[in-house]
Structure 1
């Protein structure tokens, strides 16, 4: 057997790319076929899950088991409590994890997995609703289920027609379809999603509010509108945010003075030693409310090409300040 030289990838790349593209084409056709069959059975499956007093328990062996685990994780993170039980372990005690109010979602492309079929009499006796996801409507599992979701595909992408490929993709997509349909039916929101994803960048983006990162109280740079430019510079130097807000006699925001405003003032004919802050400040600066998400502040800064924001209350009084470095430290951007 001749092994292609790794030093000349161009000699093998076209055939490898062709193989990859063929897989995509076959799996796209499989997904289209499954999507076209969505109908009353899908609606019934969703309604059973919505009406259940318990959780969704997914079952599956082999590759179907891997897909079932993923479906359970997706359901759980989108508002439908769910977990995976290995059918082989269920027969040795883990069946006790499934309670009367649970809906069982069983995956088996053949619909004849012995480990799952062995559990059916017990699940039926316990009164669990069974939703089957198979590629054979006449299979034992499909016939035993209250609802059958048909994930049969025209062909597997594997040229040997042995390795589950198109069928596992179709199963995964059907699980995602269930999760999203249930999410929308429950009115699941971004805040709900954040509560189940508190860790990592996703959690920070969804949970971190302006109040968590802003500088307030004594850390807030602030001068009166009657202050001199030199007084404003001293305040900026003490607070180290590269800006200071300017307030009127009622404590409302009158303007903002930043490092950029200072550079522009130095380029002008203005005498910075005698200038008043009102002469050089920026009027009507961008602001944000304290109840907003930190990621919204990042988006606002990016959109308007600014490096800082003043946080105001409902009366336009400054209550905090933050800059891009605060968002970087919080790993929001």
Structure 2
């Protein structure tokens, strides 16, 4: 590796180390001296009857936009307001029922300090995230969260790098603490994320992504072992479901079961399905959410599930490939 590439690698690793160390130190401060400030911040946000208004300028403004989006997507109505635009009319967006979250590394951002006194007079609560607990913004705040860092990851110690990472991490910490305090559930998350793979994962039911009965490899328990193998091969699912005359699930035979069985017994004509199958396999109802089916597969370390009604009558089957195809994984 030449010197230029070596330098690039070293700087990248140093950046990650500095930013990780800064977050760890911020966590330690929070656990030791910052508990009351965090709890007060969460309380103010939880009691907010209006909107959470997040603001900052420059790189802090970019972080503020993301923090506002995180609040909004986790059940707390929020929006970003640019502090310079706020002083030219957008301040009318802020009401006494709101909580104003101001992000400034220095705590002395002129644009924020211009509008904060007016915001305070409206009756809105102020939470400040700054790198200086003695700054003007910190002193004006109802709750102040210390996001100070020892140095920026920038070799010149000038470009906002470590400081913006710390601000973003604290914003996430607030949002996560708030969503838990409000009892935010996966169903609530779905309401603001109906699109994309994430929404599909939470909204799709097993009945929408499973293979129907005609596409599910199945065989009567009275059939021969050879017939079961033919059914398994024909449907290409790596299993065959064993049912009785009323289509109730009795067992399952997978390709793994088959390999293990053939290692022990070469004469397949003498094998009965009742002896070869795994009895009473796990089944799931069709109205289960796909996310729950995924969790079951992960918990039991399996890649397929049998779909059946309450009487154990076979309705279909589901495997990981079906979930990938349906874009829920």
Separation (CA, whole Å) in 1 of partners of 2:42 and 2:301: 46
Separation (CA, whole Å) in 2 of partners of 1:115 and 1:271: 84
Q: Is the 8 A contact 1:191 1:206 kept in 2?
A: yes
Aligned match of 1:56: 52
More moved, 146-155 vs 240-249: 240-249
Q: Is 1:166 paired with 2:162?
A: yes
Deviations 1:235-287 (A, max 9, x none): 7799776655333356531123567778878x853459xx9765665433343
Aligned match of 1:198: 194
RMSD over equivalenced CA pairs, Å: 3.5
Q: Alpha-carbon deviation of 1:66?
A: 0.7
Note the 1:61-210 alignment, pairs <5 A.
61-210=57-206
- TM-score normalised to the size of structure 2? 0.80
Aligned match of 1:283: 279
Structure showing greater radius of gyration is 1
Q: Alpha-carbon deviation of 1:61?
A: 0.4
Q: Alpha-carbon deviation of 1:104?
A: 0.4
Note closer, same or farther for the CA distance 1:210–1:17 as it changes in structure 2 (3 Å cut).
Answer: same
Note the 1:208-287 alignment, pairs <5 A.
208-216=204-212, 223-227=219-223, 244-248=240-244, 251-256=247-252, 268-271=266-269, 278=274, 281-287=277-283
Q: Is the 8 A contact 2:241 2:253 kept in 1?
A: yes
More moved, 128-137 vs 156-165: 156-165
Aligned match of 1:20: 12
Note closer, same or farther for the CA distance 1:236–1:155 as it changes in structure 2 (3 Å cut).
Answer: closer
Q: Is the 8 A contact 1:298 1:332 kept in 2?
A: no
Unaligned 5+ residue runs, structure 2? none
More moved, 307-316 vs 171-180: 307-316
Separation (CA, whole Å) in 1 of partners of 2:233 and 2:128: 67
For these two proteins, the number of residue pairs brought into alignment is 323
Note closer, same or farther for the CA distance 1:250–1:30 as it changes in structure 2 (3 Å cut).
Answer: same
Unaligned 5+ residue runs, structure 1? 1-8
Note closer, same or farther for the CA distance 1:29–1:284 as it changes in structure 2 (3 Å cut).
Answer: closer
Secondary structure in structure 1 of the residue aligned to 2:267: coil
